[in-house]
Amino acid sequence: MKALGTAERIDALERLLGNPDDTGNPLGYRPILEADEADQMFDAGERALDDFEFNAEVVPAEYGGRLLGLDTYINMMRVIYRRDPSLGLGYGFSSFIAGVNIWSAGDDEQRRTAASLLLNNQRIAAAYHELAHGNDFAGTDCAATRDASGLLRLSGRKEVVCNIRRARALVILVRTAEGGGSRSHSQILIDKAELPSDTLVDLPRWPSVGVRGVQLGGMEFRDCPIPDSALLGTEGQGTETALRSFQLTRIALPGMLCGVLDSGLRLAQTLAVERELYGEPISALPAVRAQLADAFVDLLISDCCTTVAARGVHLLTEQSSIHASAVKYQVSGHLLRAMDSLSAVLGASSYLRDGRYGVFQKLLRDLKLAGFGHASRVACLVTMLPQMPVLARRGWTDGPEAPAEVFRPDVELGSLPFHRLSLSGRGKDSLLTALIAGIDRVTADGRAEGTEASALRTLFAQLRDESENLRRACAELHPTDIGVDAAPEVLRLPARYAALLAASSCINVWQEYGAQGDPAWLIAALHRLSRSLGYAGIDDISPMRERLYSQLAERYAAHESFDLSRRPLPS
């Protein structure tokens, strides 16, 4: 593929995949549903992505690929996820999960080898999971131990791993020392073609309710000889590498899944304008318009959160550990609730498995991945919790503010700084600092007037109160409060924190990103977030909902996406 800019590549991919609603489109919803019903990957889609050389999107530019900005990669993947999350996960994201570990910890030869495989349309799978231990890495049984000659030998099982049978290479988390502790595990990169075939045994596939086409398999390793050159980074560094890499994948996955809500919202609007009740389309009903407007707001909140966090990986790299978990928790909640709400708009049509609305039930099933894929929502709160008291005592809103470019998706960024990812923000969070600073800027610039200004003042006051109340509560936490056995009321603290980061993202994107000048969506978003925090919000949100529904209907008629980009779609 000749060199294209970001927007050009996204447009080219949209054109290649075409209008998914077109029943004659060989890459549309009809054949996607047929593949899903057969529990198979969408072969025609994979061939199209091969032709597009899509694997180049997961290879850093310095190794011959096109991977630069994390937000760019998310937007490329969102094109696929709007159509088929199984294709998105099974083709693009699976290799990205493995790849970020290689780009983060691998040596130059390992990176070049991985890049060559991917650029030749091969797959790399990340094998972490063992059914007996779930996401408890400290309990991993699959082990690489040294024999009498000092050679590493791999034995054990990995289960429910995406593409493990189809992948040419594997990134595997293995135990390399007895006991617990952060240095008892390592990651290795193996090329299956270079190992004795009798030491690798494929396990039966695990069928699933969602993403049914994804090949969730397993593998048993039987005294498999592994050269020291397979180690990613130093021995004992595996858990640390995985936790650093998760900062990228926990942001990327919900960002991609925004495409599912975009499609769900489009299907619901289609039904709302075409289905009549008492001689009028059901879109004339206030309750239906409100549900559609609320889902639209959920999408904009989600896009703000993931876009800001993805850009923060570049510009606030050392703070990404807390941002990634907050985004995974917050955004997955918005996406899941919004799609459930839209199923009520579609009614019985949300259960159909074929026909015009048949893809909705597939998208709804596939979206469930948002709640648990790459760590559950609760696990994200547990990850955030230890940083809460440190933030409350050291910085909170007194630290350096995030640069304006974090909130400007129209500003291109450079390469991903894999080497600067940190396991802790060390008591700093520039996005939280930007909450109060953003409130002050919006208040001062006077862009909102009259009832809009009054509504924002009310919401801003509630957010200020919440920020201070939460700071005090977090500062009082005792070390015994913040373990994995934390009480539910304690885990509510990082959940509140995630909502404040979402509010900061929305306020500052609205302020900095000129295309979003209408304050209606900002007011509706902050009302939604404030209510989730236990505050009253504003007295009457219905005028904002009406304006938002009008904007949604306008985008729908113009064949534009519903996210921040407002990108033209194939028609």
**Beta carbons of 382 and 322 less than 8 angstroms apart:** no
Q: CATH number of the domain at 126-235, out of 1.10.10.10, 2.60.40.420, 1.20.120.920, 2.40.110.10?
A: 2.40.110.10
Percent of the chain with pLDDT over 70: 98
Question: pLDDT at residue 447 above 80?
Answer: no
**Beta carbons of 100 and 248 less than 8 angstroms apart:** yes
* pLDDT at 139 (0 to 100): 79
pLDDT, mean of residues 499-525: 90
pLDDT band at 473 (very low <50, low <70, confident <90, very high): very high
Q: In sequence order, what are the beta bridge partners of 130?
A: 134
pLDDT band at 516 (very low <50, low <70, confident <90, very high): low
Taking all residues of the chain, what is their mean pLDDT, rounded to a whole number?
93
Which tokens hold the place of 517? 């000048």
**Beta carbons of 384 and 325 less than 8 angstroms apart:** yes
* pLDDT at 408 (0 to 100): 95
Question: pLDDT at residue 515 above 60?
Answer: no
Higher pLDDT, 474 or 372: 474
Residue spans per domain, the chain = 6-122, 126-235, 241-402+413-557
Q: Which amino acid is at 195?
A: L
Percent of the chain with pLDDT over 90: 85
Is the CA virtual torsion 561, 564, 568, 569 positive or negative? negative
Question: pLDDT at residue 511 above 80?
Answer: yes
* pLDDT at 137 (0 to 100): 73
* pLDDT at 393 (0 to 100): 87
Q: pLDDT per residue over 124-144, tens digit each?
A: 999 999 988 877 777 788 999
Q: What span, in angstroms and rounded, lies between the C-alpha atoms of 65 and 62? A: 7
Which tokens hold the place of 245? 């890499």
Q: pLDDT per residue over 74-93, tens digit each?
A: 999 999 999 999 999 999 89
* pLDDT at 6 (0 to 100): 86
Q: Convert 391-429 to b/e letters by CB count within 10 Å (16 or more is b).
A: bbeebbbebebbbeebbbbeeebeebebeebeeebebbb
pLDDT band at 1 (very low <50, low <70, confident <90, very high): low
Is the CA virtual torsion 28, 255, 329, 128 positive or negative? positive
> What CATH number should be reported for the domain whose range is 6-122?
1.10.540.10
pLDDT band at 3 (very low <50, low <70, confident <90, very high): low
* pLDDT at 374 (0 to 100): 63
CA 41, distance to chain mean position in Å, is 21
Rounded to two decimals, what is the model's pTM? 0.96
Question: pLDDT at residue 370 above 90?
Answer: no
- Cα angle 307, 88, 160 (rounded to 5 degrees) comes to 110
Question: pLDDT at residue 472 above 80?
Answer: yes
pLDDT band at 356 (very low <50, low <70, confident <90, very high): very high
Q: What span, in angstroms and rounded, lies between the C-alpha atoms of 211 and 227? A: 35
Strands 143-146 and 124-127: unpaired
pLDDT band at 2 (very low <50, low <70, confident <90, very high): low
Q: pLDDT per residue over 245-275, tens digit each?
A: 999 999 999 999 999 999 999 999 999 999 9
**Beta carbons of 125 and 171 less than 8 angstroms apart:** yes
Quick one: 199 exposed, middle or buried, by C-beta within 10 A (0-12, 13-18, 19+)? middle
Q: CATH number of the domain at 241-402+413-557, out of 1.20.140.10, 1.10.3720.10, 1.10.357.10, 1.10.530.10?
A: 1.20.140.10
CA distances from 133 to 130, 147, 216, 235 (A): 6, 26, 17, 22
* pLDDT at 179 (0 to 100): 76
Q: pLDDT per residue over 315-353, tens digit each?
A: 999 999 999 999 999 999 999 999 999 999 999 999 999
Q: Among 27-36, 129-138, 549-558, which stretch is predicted with the lowest mean pLDDT?
A: 129-138
